[in-house]
Amino acid sequence: MTEPGIAARLRARLHTPKPSVRRNVVANFVATGWAAILGIVVVPLNVRFIGIEGYAVIGVYAMVQALSLLLDSGLSPTLNRELAQRSAAGYSASDTRTLVRTLEIVYWGVALLVGLVVVGLAPVAARYWLHPERLSVSEVQRALMLMGLTIAIQWPASFYASGVQGLQRQVELSAGNVVMGTLRSVGGVLVLWLVSPTIGAFFIWQALVSALWTGWLGWFLWRRLPAADGHRARFDASHLRRVWRFAAGVNGMALTGMALSQSDKLILSHILPLEQFGYYSLAATVASVFGRSAEPIGYAFFPRFSELHGRGEERQLVATYHRACQLLSVVVLPAAVVLTLFSSEVLQLWTHNPVIVTEAHWLLTLLVAATAFNRLLNLPAALQLAYGWTSLTLWNNAVAIALLIPSLIAATQQWGAIGAASVLAILNLVYVLVHIPLMHRRIAVGEAKRWFLEDVAAPLLAAIAVAVPGTLVMRGTSSALGTLLVLIAVSAGSLLAGALSVPWLRETIARVLSRSRFAAQT
């Protein structure tokens, strides 16, 4: 299906300069940072308007939305990889557009199925699964039905976003995320404040914004695909037959990975009273916002890994992989150290609610640790996908699930939410220690030691060396302003220490400072 010289024409048709990983990383960080700021501001307001039980229902929404991605069948990562590789090896415009149309039709069909299932199960879940005490069963049921509608509308957005990422048009995608995230979060608070402080009103607004976001993403992706060359895009089952093996492997990874990441919420939502689950959801939300700091790097580098592998530039791929992992560690680990050491102070500044601090600060410490260990595997997983290797993660996840679910049930029944959070932290640490050596026996062979020592240990130890003395300073601080200033200083110092521990980042910082001094002198 290739055509001579089509790669150059394809790039011209996309009306874009050569993709820049650096520009994509920066754009992704801006969008993720803005989402984190919105979460910090909006979550306490949502809790104030709809109560901790209402927020627990939002936690259920996040869980169901994540679980629904199990039905993705690997189509989103497949589209990302296919479009990234097509930028390196030419394909006809009609073939590319037909591929997107085929996967799009399947995706929308599954989205409808997901929505119908959630709506159909709403009465059962409201009456027999959740345990509301302040909200009525009918209120929870209506909220769950609206939740199903929202998920069905929003679900295809992840497919279109993966396509845009594969085209490496992440600057535009990030801008859209900023706008839509603001509408979703700020608009939701305004609806609760000015219209109706109910969980039903919250989900109606989410459904409206989701429709706008999905529609815009679909339009944007199709506008950026190569222009039609006389053949109309259509459904073609041959594309499914060609990509099904990779898509099935990715879906298996997603299925088992989602089971690992969502089992705690599924189990706790049934075992714990809804109020206690609300505290757990609050801590999990903070950990999730923190965990999203890894996403901009993964989104930017996965298409780059796929492109380099498609070109056969293996040495360049390994070098890029280590730099990406070091950047990920510098972003994730200093923040994780600060959040685990200062979880009480962070929750107090954020919520101004001593009950929440008492109930959730140890949960936050453990869930942040679990999330940090998990996020360290983002780029190794992306490298495996670039090679088309899915079985390692699939089998490792399957073993982890077999250990996780009975451990979660036992620990939750014995020690409550703290037991579940402890199990997650331990499991994710063990997963890292096992997975990386196994991976580097087959791809990037012999690079495991470098990953542990240079990519992870150096930034981690540097951050700890700065943050631990900060706990002594925090003990002598009594005011909210003083606490905030100490947190800012410790966070900045830990981040800088982590960056300076990485040679190429240290050289980059030195060059920037040298240019600044030169500019000042002239």
Q: What does the pLDDT look like over 317-362, one tens digit per residue?
A: 999 999 999 999 999 999 999 999 999 999 998 888 888 898 889 9
Would you say 298 and 379 are in contact if contact means Cβ atoms under 8 Å apart? yes
For the ranges 66-75, 135-144, 196-205, 324-333, the lowest mean pLDDT is seen at 66-75
Q: Is 276 exposed, middle or buried (0-12, 13-18, 19+ CB in 10 A)?
A: middle
Q: What secondary structure letter does DSSP report for 155? A: T
Specify the higher pLDDT residue, 128 or 493.
Answer: 493
User: Can you give the pLDDT at residue 264?
Assistant: 82
pLDDT digits (tens, 9 = 90+) for 196-239: 888 888 888 988 998 999 999 889 888 887 766 666 777 777 76
The residues, any chain, with a CB within 8 Å of residue 300's CB and separated by 6 or more, are 21, 24, 25, 28, 170
Specify the higher pLDDT residue, 180 or 452.
Answer: 452
User: Can you give the pLDDT at residue 71?
Assistant: 60
Highest mean pLDDT among 151-165, 284-298, 496-510: 496-510
Specify the higher pLDDT residue, 505 or 522.
Answer: 505
User: Can you give the pLDDT at residue 249?
Assistant: 65
How much is the average pLDDT of 15-23?
A: 57
User: Can you give the pLDDT at residue 148?
Assistant: 82
Would you say 335 and 498 are in contact if contact means Cβ atoms under 8 Å apart? no
pLDDT digits (tens, 9 = 90+) for 85-123: 665 555 667 777 777 888 888 888 888 888 888 888 888
Specify the higher pLDDT residue, 504 or 263.
Answer: 504
Q: Side-chain half-sphere of 307: how many Cα atoms within 13 Å?
A: 21
Judged by phi (left if over 0) then psi (alpha if -120 to 50, else beta), residue 89 lies in beta
Q: Give this prediction's pTM.
A: 0.64
Q: Is the pLDDT of residue 78 over 90?
A: no
Would you say 330 and 495 are in contact if contact means Cβ atoms under 8 Å apart? yes
The 3-state DSSP composition of the chain as helix, strand, coil percent (nearest 5) reads 85, 0, 15
Would you say 425 and 369 are in contact if contact means Cβ atoms under 8 Å apart? yes
* Nearest alpha-carbon partner for 260 in 380, 113, 362, 374: 374
User: Can you give the pLDDT at residue 463?
Assistant: 95
How much is the average pLDDT of 419-429?
A: 92
How much is the average pLDDT of 361-386?
A: 91
Q: How far apart are CA 462 and CA 502, in angstroms?
A: 10
Q: Is the pLDDT of residue 8 over 50?
A: no
Cα–Cα distances (Å) from 118 to 113, 115, 141, 262, 278, in that order, read: 9, 5, 11, 16, 21
* Nearest alpha-carbon partner for 404 in 423, 431, 417: 423
How much is the average pLDDT of 246-262?
A: 66
Q: Is the pLDDT of residue 271 over 50?
A: yes
Would you say 323 and 300 are in contact if contact means Cβ atoms under 8 Å apart? no
Q: How far apart are CA 74 and CA 474, in angstroms?
A: 46
Q: How far apart are CA 316 and CA 305, in angstroms?
A: 9
pLDDT confidence tier of residue 4, bands split at 50, 70 and 90: very low
Amino acid (1-letter code) at residue 269: S
Q: How far apart are CA 405 and CA 407, in angstroms?
A: 5
Q: How far apart are CA 513 and CA 522, in angstroms?
A: 14
Q: How far apart are CA 319 and CA 503, in angstroms?
A: 13
Specify the higher pLDDT residue, 141 or 447.
Answer: 447
pLDDT digits (tens, 9 = 90+) for 425-464: 999 999 899 999 999 999 988 899 999 999 999 999 999 9
For the ranges 218-222, 241-245, 296-300, 472-476, the lowest mean pLDDT is seen at 241-245
User: Can you give the pLDDT at residue 2?
Assistant: 38
Judged by phi (left if over 0) then psi (alpha if -120 to 50, else beta), residue 382 lies in alpha
- Mean pLDDT of the residues in the chain: 81
User: Can you give the pLDDT at residue 258?
Assistant: 66
Judged by phi (left if over 0) then psi (alpha if -120 to 50, else beta), residue 445 lies in beta
Would you say 155 and 111 are in contact if contact means Cβ atoms under 8 Å apart? yes
How much is the average pLDDT of 48-56?
A: 78
- Give the start-to-end residue ranges of the domains of the chain: 1-273, 312-522
Q: How far apart are CA 405 and CA 485, in angstroms?
A: 41
User: Can you give the pLDDT at residue 39?
Assistant: 74
Q: What secondary structure letter does DSSP report for 519? A: H
